[in-house]
Copies of this chain bind each other. A is one copy, B any other.
Amino acid sequence: MKLQQLRYLVEVAKQGLNVSDAAEALHTSQPGISKQIRLLEDELGVQVFVRNGKRVVDVTAPGKEILKISERILREAKNLKRVAEEFVNEQEGGLVVATTHTQARYALPPTIHDFMQRYPGVKLSIKQGSPTQICEFVMDGSADIAIATEGIDQFPELAMLDCYSWNRSIIVPDNHPLLDLKGQLRIEDVAKYPIITYDFAFTGRSKINRAFESCGLAPNVVLTAIDTDVIKTYVGLGLGIGIVASMAFDVKRDVGLFAIDASHLFEPSTTHIGIRRDAYLRGYTYSFIERFAPHLTRAVVDAALNNKGED
């Protein structure tokens, strides 16, 4: 049994049981993969893949187990390399942060700025995607940590760390009637106007829905966007009022727009970091996390990684 064979196995499964695609992904020849998989199957005495004539069409029952274990082995092998790298030069390496627009645009910049100054040797990259996508990036190893408000709890294999809580604001254009409102803003006031907010499954959208539902109101959502900049643009055009994360409003930059605090209308949301429990984290990764959320010290993170269940 060789590590390569396991790599082939896993890649074929990953590529939807297509050996040719796996070969391409691994920059090798397709017959090589075919043969190695066959050799491994011979050695184990079990078929991993079901072949219909000469086509791979399914994974056998033992194959499923074998794939699971193979993935674990490969992941550990990767960890091994990381441990070595860590000791070779703890100031250099890579760090891939998968996150959503809101985090990347409003929450992360100061952290990233500091981090890059402190660790100039680390190749930091940000991978933007939907909450589900970024979790999958972390799951399949193409990103190290996920930062998002939604979706991380869907993946039991990811440890979830609370970073910070935040509230929402209503943003309106100049001269909007809501600005003249006497007393505290009520949800009924908000529901009167066409609403522009986040796409479902993004940036705490579920809490917004729930707030209206619990009052028996049906908000008139005229536009859903993935990022706050789009929302602001359309609010500026007078299409409706925006419900956005408070941190996304900048009184200086967002000329012609006004924010009204809505903390009391919607439950606060919490932004989380998601990390594979079986990942080995480089020292600077802990440092990055702690810069982003100071209470998440290395000890706290390690404790969360070792907890099997929820935090």
Contacts and interface: CB of A to CB of B under 8 A. Distances in A.
Interface in A55-109: 60-62, 65-66, 69-70, 72-73, 76-77, 79-81, 83-88
Contacts of A87: 46, 60-62
A299 interface: no
A1 B3 contact: yes
Number of copies: 2
B80 A76 contact: no
A306 interface: yes
Nearest to A278: B72
Contacts of A44: 80-81, 84, 88
A2 interface: yes
Nearest to A87: B62
Contacts of A176: none
A177 interface: no
B1 A77 contact: yes
A304 to B, nearest CB: 13
A118 interface: no
B73 A77 contact: yes
A6 to B, nearest CB: 8
A81 B77 CA distance: 18
A216 interface: no
B83 A66 contact: yes
A81 B73 CA distance: 13
A127 B66 CA distance: 29
A197 to B, nearest CB: 41
A231 B308 CA distance: 46
Given A46-B84, A66-B80, 11 more contacts: A1-B77, A2-B2, A44-B81, A45-B85, A45-B88, A62-B86, A65-B83, A69-B79, A69-B280, A73-B73, A73-B77
- Per CB-CB distance, the 10 closest pairs between chain A and chain B, nearest first, are A44-B84, A62-B87, A46-B84, A65-B83, A45-B88, A69-B80, A73-B76, A308-B308, A46-B87, A72-B76
11 contacts: A1-B3, A1-B80, A1-B81, A3-B3, A44-B80, A44-B84, A45-B84, A61-B87, A69-B79, A70-B80, A73-B76
